[in-house]
A = this chain, B = another copy of it.
Amino acid sequence: MTAKAPTLEDVAREAGVSTASVSRYLNMPELVRPQRREKIEAAIAALGYVPHGAARALASQRTRTIGAVIPTLDNAIFARGVQAFQHRLHSDNFTLLLASFDYDLEEEVRHVDALLTRGVDALLLVGCLHTPKLYERLDKMELPYVHTWAFDRSGAKPCVGFDNRLAAKRAASYLIDIGHQAIALVVGITEGNDRATERALGVREALEERGLALLPEYYLEKAYDVAEGRSAMRQLLTQDVPPTAVICGNDVLALGALLECQSRGVPVPGEISITGFDDLPLTSHLQPSLTTLHVPAGEMGRRAAEYLLARLSDVPMPDSTELEVGLLVRGTTAPPSRRK
C-alpha cells in the first residue's frame, strides 16, 4: 500500500512491453496497437500509476502548466476572469499556477521568476504596465505571454483586453450628454496601475473635449474597497459645491459611493448620479441599479487561454484581440436637477 509510487518502468514490466511503448501510449495512443494498448491500460490500472510530471517536464521541456500573475483575487472581477481562464486551460489538460502581487510591480517580478522556475509554458499578465526586468525574463525564456485587462493599440504587446481609456471616456461623455458639468472622478490608485491611469485619462479627455475641466477637489484616488468608496463620496458630498455626478473607477467604489448616499439620504440619481466599471453581478440588482461599464471578464479569461494555447501548438492566431466594453445605462444616472 505504502510502496513507492509506480513508475513507467513498472508499468512496462507489468504489461510485458517496453517503456517506450508505455510512453507512446501515454502521449500518442494511436501509434500503439490496440492489443498492446489494452495490456498497458490494465497494467496502469492495476498499479494505480500516475505519470510523474517533473520527469515528463524534464524530458519533454514542457510542463503543461500556465501561470497567471494578477493584482489580487479579492476583486470579484479578477476572480471571474481567472476562473474562466483556468476552466479553459483545464479542458486542454493544462494546469494553472496562480500568484497575486497586490498591485506591487516589484513583487510581480518575483512572482514571475517563481513561475518561470516552475517551468510554466506560458503566462497571463494583467495590464500592459510592467517593469523592464519582467520583460527581460520573459524574452530570455522566449515564453509566450499575453496581456489582459488592457489593450495596446501599438500592437507591440500581445493582448486580449479592452481600451480602458475609451471605456471611461464613454461613461463621462454620457454624463455630459445628459447635462452634467460638475463631474467628479473616484478612481483606483493609479500608481503602477495602467488600467486606473487610463480610466482617469479617459474621463479627463471627455471633459476637456467638451470644454469642461476636472476640478482638483473632484479628483480622488482610492483603493478598491467599499469603505473607500463611501469615504470618497463623503468627501465629495461635504464640499461647498458637490458634484452632480461621480464616475467611479470600479463597481466596488461605486457601490460604496451609492451606499454612502443612501445612508445620508442623498437621492440617487435625483441629487447625484453615479457610474461604476466592471458590471459585477450584483450591480444590476441594486436599488437603484448601477449604471456601469460591462467588462467581459469571463470571455477575456477564456480567450486569453485560447490565445496562449494556440501559441503553444503553433496554431496561428492574431496577437491582439480587443473586446467591447459597453455602457449599461441603468438606474443611478439621470440628468442633473436644477439646484439653487
CB within 8 Å of B: which residues of A?
A: 1-2, 5, 48, 50-55, 57-58, 63, 65, 72-74, 76, 79-80, 82-83, 86-87, 90, 93, 95-100, 111, 113-119, 136-137, 139-142, 225-227, 230, 252, 255-256, 259, 262-263, 281-282, 285-287
Contact = CB atoms under 8 A, between A and B. Distances in A.
A101 B272 CA distance: 43
A136 B45 CA distance: 13
A141 B5 contact: yes
A255 B227 contact: no
Given A2-B142, A58-B58, A74-B83, A117 B287 contact: no
B97 A95 contact: yes
10 contacts: A1-B139, A50-B116, A53-B117, A53-B118, A53-B119, A54-B63, A73-B73, A73-B79, A95-B118, A97-B98
A50 B117 contact: yes
B285 A256 contact: yes
Given A52-B117, A73-B73, 18 more contacts: A50-B113, A51-B117, A54-B63, A57-B57, A63-B118, A65-B97, A73-B83, A73-B86, A74-B79, A82-B98, A90-B111, A95-B99, A97-B97, A97-B98, A98-B98, A225-B281, A227-B281, A256-B285
Contacts of A51: 117
Nearest to A259: B285
Contacts of A137: 48, 50
A113 B255 CA distance: 41
B114 A90 contact: yes
- Copy number in this complex? 2
A73 B142 CA distance: 30
B99 A96 contact: yes
Nearest to A6: B140
Contacts of A5: 140-141
B230 A285 contact: yes
Contacts of A55: 54, 58
A52 B139 CA distance: 16
B99 A50 contact: no
Nearest to A80: B74
Contact of A255 (B90, B115, B256, B282): B282
Given A54-B119, A114-B90, A118-B53, A226 B282 contact: yes
Contacts of A96: 97-99
Contacts of A282: 226, 252, 255
A2 B51 CA distance: 31
A142 B86 CA distance: 26
Given A76-B79, A256-B285, A54 B50 contact: no
Contacts of A262: 287
A95 B114 contact: yes
Nearest to A83: B73
